[in-house]
Structure 1
């Protein structure tokens, strides 16, 4: 190797190390802190399927999907606002209105397909992966799981500079991931457990970083 090429290689290496040091990302070896996910009463959302049962009046019961406008249609009642209400609250309102037509109605409402919650509690991966994904969160999911769901990284992926974005205290914070170590070396140091709302971005290789 000529002296000129050697100096160029040293400069590129120094720039790369400097950029890594100044990236501001926490060490990829540190487990990202878990956000406080408070357990809240379920609120019905658009796309949810709900089952309505009226005791001793089966003709009034039905299984129905909440429309995009947030309403459902009920016999005798017409359109009823369902979005944003807890099942017990909706059951009480339906019961009160049906009381104008039948004696002491007893109504129960169950969410049989919580589609709106599944959308809110999703994991997403973008950038240099074969197929960017937005998938419903399942307990136990890890970084490797979502990468495999996305078909792995592309040939142009800077997989050692992937980033996990996690919402903490209402703001997204970023944590470095080394997908190359996970996929090539079986190093699970950054194969962190995921949680609802996490976003993983895989950047493209860059010439000035010496990655191409």
Structure 2
């Protein structure tokens, strides 16, 4: 019993620490609050909010698109673009608030469907949004379908994270990702996932028309 409690406490600490270490692998998107600091240039240092199209306006260089970029990638882009006006600009970028990420959590969870992650965007945050596992859920082999594509499926072992702290088994999720939990490791993409993915993309296309 004591060992189980220690494992749970360890997992909780890892989850609390997750937002701090996710910035390097996180791909930015609409709604993100991006804090930019340029050493020696207060007029270029502020926090910018990416619009619904993933862009914001920045002094001197104009429109900046953050969609799909990491902090490192955006930092390099701004250095190159600002170099036309500033010699060797020193830039620091932080994500102070992340926009929401919509992901599917299907199968052996208590509230299957499309869920919106607003604070932390890792796999187990999505499980929490779905009210947790069912008693039948096989946590050693969880399907992660990246961007809803059948040819981009990974496998996660949640037990390895919960019991051993293997953070690679609790990755950051991106818009449109899907987690599927089985009770017997049987999985059919066309039957179990595709109908949900297709309905979501249909709604996204409809939203863009208005």
TM category, shorter? 0.3 to 0.5
TM-score under structure 1 normalisation?
A: 0.43
When Rg is computed on C-alpha atoms for both structures, the one with the higher figure is 1
Relative to total residues, which structure has the larger helix share, 1 or 2? Answer: 2
Q: Which one scores higher on RCO, CA 8 angstroms, separation ≥ 6?
A: 1
TM-score under structure 2 normalisation?
A: 0.44
